Structure 1
Amino acid sequence: MKKTWTHFFGLAVALATSLASAQNPGDAKAGAGKIAMCIGCHGIPGYQGSFPEVHKVPMISGQGAGYIAAALQAYQKGERRHPTMRGIAESLSEQDIADVAAFYAGQTGPASSAPAKAGEPSAQVAQLLQKGACVSCHGDNFSKPLDASYPKIAGQHADYLYVALKSYKVDPGSYVGRSNGVMAGIAKQFSNAELKELARYVGSLDGELRVVPESRFR
């Protein structure tokens, strides 16, 4: 994929996020006491959100701390426009974000629904993956991001991945959507049908993401 100024801008943002995380390490034990607003969605296997459309909420247990922190900061800044998530993120301090991120990054437990092993992508999907240069950021098997602020996506709920990818195609002035120059440039190359195919394949891969149910929801 041809590198543009948006590519280098994205790398600069990622570097700044990584440096900030290194300077403000999270405390997973402290984070365990700060997730009351998270567990009602992310701690229930199969839980579905209904905004902006019905889809499973993302699995965040086992996700990288750098990405979780970067995502929450994006909600705070309005770069991600989801009213519920923005309201939650705005209530968190920088240390709260670091602690919550550390908690979920280190959380282990049985996956609520282990994804089936996926074979090689079809010729069509392989072309789409190459066109988007997805592995160049998300790494081997889409589970080893090349930067801490990038997400693991292998095994993530396919319907969530699809909604997330579409959100980068939404006009920046819209009530919903996400503003990210790199991801917007990538997502806008594809039709929604192609994004759905990408999401279906990546979601079918084995990954490290999971839902670890809270004891009250077991």
Structure 2
Amino acid sequence: MKTMLLLAPLLLAGTPAADAGPAADPPGEVATATPPVRYDLRRAQAVPGDAQAGKAKAEVCGACHGENGIAPAPLFPNLAGQPAAYLYWSLQAYRSGRLPESPMTALAATLQEQDIRDLASYYASLPVPPPAPETETATAGTDAALAGRGRALYLDGDPSRGIPPCQGCHGDDARGNPLAGYRDRSGRLPYAAYPALRGQQPDYLRTRLQQFHGQAIDASSNSRIMEGVGQRLDADSIEALSTWLSSLNE
């Protein structure tokens, strides 16, 4: 297990610091250079934000992500309970133009630093509720064989194709990296910005993995890891992973 949990630093060990862009230190550091920076999330720090203030600022977000952070449509991601660091740096990446163009691009461009901190803190504070009846129905109709392949790929990877197990960064239960709270000697949180994938919306998972496969995302040290993994995932693997992860609602 320790070997898998240390996968991210090992994969990035040979990456020159300059190539990874400026450190994600302190929180909120956003360079104005062109092209936009790639954030080194191995040096991320805690995200200080006001969840209550974030709730007041999240009204417009509910149209796509749901009133309680659970998206009403499978194309949009659930945000409830995601790590604050992941949400924070995702919004920074949208604001800096490092993520593919989407409705989030224009919305994030209007956010101030404190807005990003507060929104990240708010959605991270939300509990993940039990699945709605329609989600349970979809789960019951999941292709068992396809989901089984996704489970095996997530937990064990595929050494023959150079695909590492996803649990190395996202946890064996897909609830996020179990070392998310670990601080190094400098007080940084190198594992804090990995998202939870359990019960995530299927179309969103599929789209994101396809973007990594097509090398369309170059936002951070974490996305560099996923770019390497994504290039090795074929369409069947992406479908299997998306099917299994989105079926995990308990």
TM-score (norm 1): 0.74
Secondary structure of 2:213's counterpart equals coil
Higher RCO by CA contacts (8 Å cutoff, separation 6 or greater)? 1
Q: For the structure 1 residues 46 and 37, does the alpha-carbon distance in structure 2 shift closer, same or farther, using more than 3 Å as the test?
A: closer
Q: Which amino acid aligns with 2:65?
A: H
Provide the residue aligned with 1:167 in structure 2.
Answer: 211
- Give SS of 2:115's match: helix
One-letter code aligned to 1:141: D
Unaligned runs of 5+ in 2: 24-39, 158-162, 180-190
Matched, 1:88 2:107: yes
Q: CA 1:46/1:71 → structure 2, altered by over 3 Å: closer, same or farther? A: closer
Question: Aligned partners of 1:181 and 1:110: how far apart in 2?
Answer: 31
The 3-state SS of whatever aligns with 1:132 is: coil
Q: Which runs of 5 or more residues in structure 1 are unaligned?
A: 49-54, 172-176, 208-218
Alignment RMSD? 3.0
Choose which of 147, 153, 164 in structure 2 pairs with 1:132: 164
Alpha-carbon distance in 2 for matches of 1:6, 1:206:
35
Counting matched residue pairs gives 191
Residues 79-121 of structure 1 deviation map (CA, whole Å, 9 limit, x = unaligned)? 2112311111111112111100111111237445265599996
How far did residue 66 of structure 1 move?
Answer: 1.1
Q: Deviations over 1:152-197 (max 9, x none)?
A: 00111122111111111235xxxxx422321110010011121111
Return the index of the structure with the highest Cα Rg.
2
CA contact (8 A) 1:6 1:181 kept: no
In structure 2, the residue matched to 1:141 is 173
Distance 1:198 1:25, change over 3 A: same
Alignment of 1:21-32 (within 5 A): 22=46, 24-32=47-55
Q: Of 212, 217, 224, which aligns to 1:178?
A: 217
Counterpart pick for 1:72 among 91, 112, 126: 91
Q: Is the 8 A contact 2:212 2:230 kept in 1?
A: yes
1:191 is aligned to 2:234: yes
Q: Does 1:47 align with 2:72?
A: yes
Q: For residues 139 and 81 of structure 1, what CA distance do their matches in structure 2 show? A: 26
Give the CA deviation at 1:127. 4.2
The one-letter amino acid paired with 2:99 is: R
Instruction: Give the distance between the partners of 1:109 and 1:127, measured in 2 at CA.
Output: 25
Q: What TM-score comes out, normalization by structure 2 length?
A: 0.66
Q: Is the 8 A contact 2:85 2:192 kept in 1?
A: yes
Runs of 4+ in structure 1 off by over 6 angstroms are 117-121
- Structure 1 distance, partners of 2:14, 2:89, is 17
Distance 1:124 1:162, change over 3 A: closer
Give me the whole-angstrom Cα distance separating, in 2, the residues matched to 1:124 and 1:81. Answer: 25
In structure 1, what is the Cα distance between the partners aligned to 2:71 and 2:122? Answer: 21
Identity level (%): 30
